[in-house]
């Protein structure tokens, strides 16, 4: 199906649940354009939600229900987008059979090759571009298996919030649809191989696309929370205070401070504490970028032609000042924050021109 041939589904509320924040977007995606009516984010209390797992159902439900009320979101038809390392993803090359038989064939293959009880999983697939020289009788697919209880829990959650679940999506899937739409607009970067990195609170979600086609996705369990923990630990402050101070500093200032020792935005009077905090926070960035580099290396080593031309970052931690420059310098790949989404309309109406926090929620509005 062409990316533009989406059926008209009307307005939806789309919800991206994360360990630190719930992101809402309301809008209608149709014909390659997304008419956005609202975007809102609400803080998630610690230890209530992580990695696609609802740890405290009542707390998460309350946060969502309260936000729906607070922001006057009347739309009932809802989509939830999540990401989880519990999802099993595998590329497979299988016999091409009629569409209605694909799922049972793929389920059969999964039973043969993966040590999981398929009855405990919701299995889905999507077709991938064929490998060079692939037999015409075969089809390359990306199989995704999500635990039944994870799917049920999220559908129950939406219902408990008075919403009508229309679909559940994975972040990387919504992103893929969004990229297809963005690339159809000429002004958008047509770089061949792009890495899109969601820098969140507990995880980094790294996806690689070649000419707009999904290639590869990997989740690394690191995020802004690791930075907060350094501050909380050494400065003996709570999370909210740590986040407040984090937002006052920049990667560039931290690096300068490493040499000069001058950085007062958040630090204690104790010079040795200050030096430790600077060193540990910089180490957090070094390790994060190293992990991204490792994922890239895994991808580029699969073929001599594989190379990453451009990086886009988004998610809460992408807002950390100068983080784009830091990544660009360390990995030597042009890096840009994904703030504007060219196929989105209505930003002036909602009064928000930085969508970097809402990429997953906006992507999930696209249904086809």
Ligand X SMILES: Nc1ncnc2c1ncn2[C@@H]1O[C@H](COP(=O)(O)OP(=O)(O)OP(=O)(O)O)[C@@H](O)[C@H]1O
Residues that bind ligand X (CB under 6 A): 18-21, 200-203, 223-225, 243, 246-247, 315-317, 319-320
12 or 251: CB nearest ligand X = 251
Phi-psi region of 217 (alpha: psi -120 to 50; beta: other; left: phi over 0): beta
As given in the structure block, the two tokens for residue 85 are: 């390392």
d(CA 242, CA 196) in angstroms, rounded, equals: 27
How many Cα atoms sit within 13 Å of 225 on the Cβ side? Answer: 17
String marking each residue 4-43 x if it binds Mg ion according to CB under 5 A: --------------x-------------------------
Contacted entry of Mg ion, ligand X, none for residue 363, CB cut-off 5 to 8 Å set by kind: none
Contacted entry of Mg ion, ligand X, none for residue 193, CB cut-off 5 to 8 Å set by kind: none
CB 334 to ligand X: min, Å: 21
End-to-end CA distance of the chain: 8
CB 52 to ligand X: min, Å: 9
As given in the structure block, the two tokens for residue 170 are: 């994975």
CB 342 to Mg ion: min, Å: 22
Strands (E), 257-360: 310-314, 335-337, 344-345
Interface with Mg ion (CB under 5 A), residue total 2
46 or 160: CB nearest ligand X = 46
Exposure string (b/e) for 13-44, b if CB count within 10 Å is 16 or more? bbbbbbbbbbbbbbbbbbebbbebebbbbeeb
141 or 195: CB nearest Mg ion = 195
CB 243 to ligand X: min, Å: 4
CB 247 to ligand X: min, Å: 4
175 or 308: CB nearest Mg ion = 175
Contacted entry of Mg ion, ligand X, none for residue 147, CB cut-off 5 to 8 Å set by kind: none
Cβ–Cβ contacts within 10 Å for residue 7, how many?
8
Rounded to 5 degrees, φ, ψ at 124 are -130, 165
Contacted entry of ligand X, Mg ion, none for residue 223, CB cut-off 5 to 8 Å set by kind: ligand X
27 or 223: CB nearest ligand X = 223
Which residue, among 143, 168, 165, 2, has the nearest Cα to 76 in the 3D structure? Answer: 165
CB 204 to ligand X: min, Å: 8
Contacted entry of ligand X, Mg ion, none for residue 27, CB cut-off 5 to 8 Å set by kind: none
Instruction: Annotate 284-297 with three-state secondary structure.
Output: HHHHHHHHHHHHHH
30 or 358: CB nearest ligand X = 358
How many Cα atoms sit within 13 Å of 62 on the Cβ side? Answer: 8
223 binds Mg ion (CB under 5 A): no
18 or 165: CB nearest Mg ion = 18
CB 97 to Mg ion: min, Å: 36
Q: Which uninterrupted H or E stretch holds 100?
A: helix 99-113
139 or 359: CB nearest Mg ion = 359
Q: Which residue is nearest to Mg ion (CB)?
A: 18
Residue in 200, 223, 224, 363 binding Mg ion, rule: CB under 5 A: 200
As given in the structure block, the two tokens for residue 265 are: 């935005």
Phi-psi region of 340 (alpha: psi -120 to 50; beta: other; left: phi over 0): beta
CB 128 to ligand X: min, Å: 25
d(CA 137, CA 19) in angstroms, rounded, equals: 43
Contacted entry of ligand X, Mg ion, none for residue 52, CB cut-off 5 to 8 Å set by kind: none
What are the residues binding Mg ion (CB under 5 A)?
18, 200
């Amino acid at each position: 199906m062409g990316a533009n041939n989406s059926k008209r589904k009307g307005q939806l509320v789309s919800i991206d649940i994360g360990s630190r924040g719930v992101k809402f977007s309301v809008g209608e995606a149709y014909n390659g354009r997304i008419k956005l009516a609202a975007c809102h984010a609400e803080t998630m209390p610690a230890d209530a939600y992580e990695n696609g797992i609802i740890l405290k159902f009542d707390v998460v439900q309350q946060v969502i229900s309260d936000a729906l009320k607070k922001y006057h979101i009347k739309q009932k038809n809802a989509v939830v987008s999540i990401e989880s390392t519990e999802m099993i993803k595998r590329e497979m090359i299988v016999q091409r059979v009629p569409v209605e038989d694909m799922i049972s064939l793929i389920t059969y293959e999964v039973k043969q090759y993966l040590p999981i009880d398929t009855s405990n999983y919701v299995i889905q697939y999507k077709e991938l571009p064929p490998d060079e020289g692939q037999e015409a009788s075969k089809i390359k697919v990306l199989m995704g298996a999500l635990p039944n209880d994870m799917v049920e829990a999220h559908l129950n959650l939406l219902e408990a919030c008075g919403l009508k679940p229309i679909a559940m999506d994975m972040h990387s899937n919504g992103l893929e649809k969004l990229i297809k739409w963005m690339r159809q607009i000429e002004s958008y970067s047509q770089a061949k191989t792009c890495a899109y990195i969601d820098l969140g609170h507990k995880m980094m979600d790294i996806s690689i696309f070649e000419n707009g086609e999904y290639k590869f996705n990997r989740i690394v369990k690191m995020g802004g929370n690791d930075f907060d923990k350094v501050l909380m630990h050494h400065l003996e402050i709570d999370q909210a205070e740590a986040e407040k101070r984090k937002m006052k500093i920049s990667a560039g200032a931290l690096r300068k401070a490493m040499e000069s020792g001058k950085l007062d935005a958040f630090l204690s009077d104790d010079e040795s504490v200050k030096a430790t905090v600077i060193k540990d926070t910089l180490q957090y960035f070094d390790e994060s970028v190293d992990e991204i580099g490792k994922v890239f290396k895994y991808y580029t080593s699969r073929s001599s032609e594989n190379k990453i031309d451009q990086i886009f970052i988004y998610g809460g931690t992408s807002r950390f000042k100068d983080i784009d420059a830091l990544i660009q310098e360390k990995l030597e790949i042009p890096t840009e924050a994904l703030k504007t989404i060219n196929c989105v309309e209505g930003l002036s109406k909602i009064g928000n021109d930085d969508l970097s926090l809402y990429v997953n929620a906006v992507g999930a509005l696209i249904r086809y």
